[in-house]
Amino acid sequence: MKKRVLSGIRATGRLHLGNYLGAVKGMLELQDNTEYETFYMVADVHTITTPYNVEELRKNRREVIVDYLSAGLDPEKSVIFQQSEVPEHMELAFYLSSVVTIAKMQHLPTFKDKVKQYPQHATMALLNYPILMTADILAYKAGFVPVGIDQEPHLEAAREIARRMNQDYNTDFPQPQSFKTEGEYIPALTGKGKMSKSVEGSYINLTDDLETIRKKIRAVPTADTSGGEKSEGLRTLFIFLKLFSPESSGEFEKKFESGSLQFVELKDHITEAIFKELEPIQTDRKRLETDPAFVDKIIKNGNEKAREVAKKTVKEVREKMGLA
């Protein structure tokens, strides 16, 4: 049997470079490896765990899929679908919640961070976030999950839940592991923290044009570099250089060491390299935008295929738990 893979991204907006390098690149790598069977969804139900706008969600649960397709996810190779269209995820999450304590969920760092960010929204849905994510993965018995490093606490919870289920109910869930890429942690353009769509000025969108990228990259703070030490901003630029133009990494490092590095030259080089990778994605997106019926068909097919698999798992779990 092929090894199963599942991943998803919340429908909170359009994808940025952090999502692309940390998650989508890993999805692509496993999709193109015939040893794996890949399931990729938009996590639209997870989007309602923090404050959101209804019309934005309606739009984004489709837009994320268009981003996926433009970035190279291929419906011939992967099942591409919307989480909410497979209600078995939510059903399974409830069954799984019976082996999880409240204390355990309250202590997850990801939960604490979100409560800090939205103190008025410490909801049950937020507390259940990792259980639903576990259900997403286990509904397909997936052992591999391409995500960025910030998702590790969720995967740890998923492994523990799988273990408990196997022990208590004799299920055969795998212990899901993250599948990491070279870009598992992309820093913010501001030189502080990670690139994230919730931090203005921190990210580059997959749809940004050359001039927008140039403006954003030129704004990365480098002036504070002194005494042979790279500042945070400059370190960020070198990370981009290594990811998008590895062949010129050595040359710029040498210039930095000898004190002859021109920041603008480095920044413009990175800008061109990023745009070179994004340009074909943008061309594909424009083509997909002209054919909404084609996209709709892919989504409908994906939703149906995913549901077939998830239904089978849920049926098995119900039987093992005495619910059938």
Nearer residue to ligand TRP within complex by CB, 66 or 93:
93
Report if residue 150 touches ligand ADP, rule: CB under 6 A.
yes
- Partner from ligand TRP, ligand ADP, none binding residue 194, C-beta < 5-8 Å depending on class: ligand ADP
CA 149 to chain centre: 10
Residue 255, burial from CB neighbour count under 10 angstroms (0-12, 13-18, 19+): middle
Are residues 146 and 39 in contact, defined by beta-carbon separation less than 8 angstroms? no
Report if residue 208 touches ligand ADP, rule: CB under 6 A.
no
Report if residue 10 touches ligand ADP, rule: CB under 6 A.
yes
User: Which SS3 state, helix, strand or coil, does residue 297 take?
Assistant: helix
Q: 144 phi and psi, to 5 degrees?
A: -130, 135
Report if residue 136 touches ligand TRP, rule: CB under 6 A.
yes
Q: Which amino acid would we find at residue 278?
A: L
**Subset of 20-39 contacting ligand ADP (CB under 6 A):** 21-23
The CB-nearest residue to ligand TRP is: 43
CA atoms lying within 13 Å on the CB side of residue 196: 8
C-alpha–C-alpha distance, residues 26 and 144, integer Å: 10
Report if residue 9 touches ligand ADP, rule: CB under 6 A.
yes
Q: Pick from 41, 45, 195, 204 the residue near ligand ADP by CB under 6 A.
A: 195
Q: How far is the CB of 268 from ligand TRP (least distance, A)?
A: 32
Q: What DSSP letter does each residue of 76-90 carry, written as one string?
A: TTEEEEEGGG-THHH
Nearer residue to ligand ADP within complex by CB, 169 or 185:
185
Report if residue 154 touches ligand ADP, rule: CB under 6 A.
no
Strand partners, 82: 42
**Subset of 5-64 contacting ligand TRP (CB under 6 A):** 6-10, 43, 46
Report if residue 242 touches ligand ADP, rule: CB under 6 A.
no
Closest listed residue to residue 136, CA positions, set 298, 271, 7: 7
Q: Pick from 41, 100, 126, 147 the residue near ligand ADP by CB under 6 A.
A: 147
C-alpha–C-alpha distance, residues 226 and 255, integer Å: 14
Query: Which tokens go with 64?
Result: 């994320």
Q: Pick from 42, 127, 131, 137 the residue near ligand TRP by CB under 6 A.
A: 137
Label the pairing between strands 36-43 and 78-82: parallel
Query: Which tokens go with 147?
Result: 């995500």
- Partner from ligand TRP, ligand ADP, none binding residue 126, C-beta < 5-8 Å depending on class: none
Are residues 194 and 185 in contact, defined by beta-carbon separation less than 8 angstroms? yes
Q: How far is the CB of 42 from ligand TRP (least distance, A)?
A: 9
Stretch that binds ligand TRP, among 143-151, 180-188, 204-212, 284-292 (CB under 6 A): 143-151
Q: Which residues bind ligand TRP (CB under 6 A)?
A: 6-10, 43, 46, 133, 136-137, 145, 147, 151, 154
Q: Which residues bind ligand ADP (CB under 6 A)?
A: 9-10, 12, 18-19, 21-23, 147-148, 150-151, 183-186, 194-198
